[in-house]
Structure formats: C-alpha cells, structure tokens
Structure 1
Amino acid sequence: MGTRSDAERITDDDLITCWGLFHEALSVTSPLLLRGIDPSGEDMSGPWFEVLIRLQRSPRNRLPMSQLAREVSLSSGGFTKLADRLERNGYLARQACPSDRRVTYATLTEKGRTLAERARARHVALLREHVLAPLGPEGVRALAEQARRLRDSSRRTEEGGERR
C-alpha cells in the first residue's frame, strides 16, 4: 500500500469536521422529514413511524419483535412499550411463531397498513424536498452507498469484537 500525498491526507480536524457536519445535517434534517407525517392527528411521538415503515416493507408485513427493536435502536423494554401503544391503537398485532415459542412477530394490521401508506407518501414528499432536491440523484445514491458501508462495517465490528 502506497503512502498518500499531503493533498490526499485527511487530518484529524478534517475527520472531526466531516463527522460533525454529517451529525449536524442529520440532526437538522430529521425533524423536517417527520413534519406533518402523522396524518391521523394522533400523538405518535418516538420511532413509531420507523416501526410502521419497516413492517410495511417486510414480507407479510411482519418481523420478529426482537429484530424490529434492534433495527429501530430501542431496548427490549422500550420497544415493548411502543408495541403496546401501537397495538392499543390498532396498528400492530402480535403473533406467536408456530415453530419457535421464543419468537413473537409484530404484524401490521389493516389499520396500520393504511396509516403506514399515508405516512409513507408524506415522508417521500419530504425526502424529495429536503434530501433529493439539495443532493440530486447521484448524491442520494452516493449517500446511500456510504451509509451502507458504515452500517456494515459497524455490524462486523459488533459481531467480531473490536477492530484495529
């Protein structure tokens, strides 16, 4: 492996600035992407939208509860509270796995699918306005690729212990 020229080198300050800008952009953009997203008018604060969208995009509109909790970055207890609330509102149902008693699926109900479809349409409009418009198609593709790389690298680190 060759050495990098000074022009190609990333300094510590460059790296800190890059990550800070990414975090800041995510922090200011994320609320814009949820503005008016709840067409039902209910107070559905928290990661409810991500739960509904993940279930909507999953085969048979269901996922194991433990997997869904990990994917939306909630503790088991935190996700259980959210699932209870979604279930009380009629958006989600729990289903036991017939082949493994340890697994419980979260499944979208018809009411949940309807809400997810309406919320998704609004979210897509906001993504087009606040992500696609400033970045353009190639920028969106590049962002997705880089995010996938970071996610996958982090998962490998979690699974295999500390990377050096």
Structure 2
Amino acid sequence: MREGAEAAPAGGLDDDELITAWGLLHEAMTATEPLLLRGIDPGGGDMAGPWFEVLIRLQRSPGHRLPMSRLAREVSLSSGGFTKLADRLERKGLLVRQSCPSDRRVVYAVLSPEGLELAGQARERHVALLREHVQAPLGPDGLRRFAELARTLRDSAAEAADTPPRPAVSGRA
C-alpha cells in the first residue's frame, strides 16, 4: 500500500483505486465531449455545448417547451447565464418565450419552427457521433451498463443534496 493510502473497506477499493476510478471517469468525459460537439451545427456555425443541450431538451419535451427556470437547472446554468443564452437563441430565431397563462411567474422557453428544424438536424449528427465515439468503444451492453451506473450516481447525488434528480437528456429517468 502506498504512503497515505488507507486500506479498502471489505469488498471496496483502496484510496488510490477510488481516486483513479473517479479521475478516469472525469478524463473520459473531458476527452469525449469535444468529439461529440464537433460539427454538431448543421449550418456550419459554432453551436457551443449549452446551445445544443437547450435545443435537444426542448425538442424532446412535450410541446417543445419547458419552464425557463427548470431548463436553466437542467443545463447547469445560473438563471443569469441562462437568460443570456436564451436571449442569444431568441435573437437567432431559435426559441421564443411564452408566459404561462395560469402563473405569471412562469415563463416558458419554446422552440421556434427554425429551432425545431435545427435541433432535428443537430440531433442526427449528434447520434452519429455518439455511435462512433461512445457506443463503438463500449459496445451496446457496455453503454447500457454505463447509463445504468450514471443514473445511479445522478440519483444518489440528488438524494444527498436533497433535490429531485434532473431528467436525463435521453428523456428516460
């Protein structure tokens, strides 16, 4: 055992194994994410990760709309950061804001027809990149297992933080 490392609890990992496992997960995500965004904007523009995530989440939501506060949480942006992003998407004609008729405090982000078309095109490219850079190396069974493990981590973190888990981008809980 290395200096400073504690013995593993019965059936568990020792400190170094635990740190290595977490580090590998972080490195894998950091290395893979840029590959999954490469060429994602079918118009050849520069669609940064948060833009794409907003468009995909709205595309996959009933009525292609979500409350702005919920969408900001789901894409891990502050309300101010999300407002700036929504402003840019609205200026580009990709989303519109709609007031909730039953609750004046709620404002929905809704995909425009142009936003829906762009989201569909970007989704097709994203799926091809996911198949190439995620499914191919892991295989279908490995990817299913990875999704199961990621869901477990997400739900455990939400429970520890005493917050409801965010819905998966895939639309499945």
Q: 1:142 to 1:46 in 2, by over 3 A?
A: closer
RMSD of aligned Cα (Å):
1.2
- Unmatched segments (≥5 aa) in structure 2: 1-8, 164-173
Using the aligned pairs only, state the percent identity. 70
Number of the residue aligned with 1:82: 85
2: CA distance, partners of 1:142 / 1:125: 20
Q: Deviations over 1:31-82 (max 9, x none)?
A: 0000000112233334100000000000110000000000000000000000
TM-score norm. by structure 1 comes to 0.91
TM-score norm. by structure 2 comes to 0.87
The answer as to 2:170 corresponding to 1:158 is no
Q: How does 1:108-123 map to 2 (within 5 A)?
A: 108-123=111-126
Number of the residue aligned with 2:29: 26
Count of aligned residue pairs for this structure pair: 155
- Unmatched segments (≥5 aa) in structure 1: none
1: CA distance, partners of 2:49 / 2:31: 16
1: CA distance, partners of 2:142 / 2:153: 16
Deviation at 1:159, TM superposition (A): 1.4
The letter for the 2-side match of 1:90 is: G
Number of the residue aligned with 2:14: 11
1: CA distance, partners of 2:139 / 2:103: 45
Match of 1:40 among 31, 39, 43: 43
The answer as to 2:121 corresponding to 1:134 is no
What SS class does the counterpart of residue 115 from structure 1 fall into? Answer: helix
1: CA distance, partners of 2:142 / 2:49: 28
Retained in 1: the 8 A contact 2:37–2:48?
no
Q: Where has structure 1 moved over 2 Å in runs of 4 or more?
A: 41-46
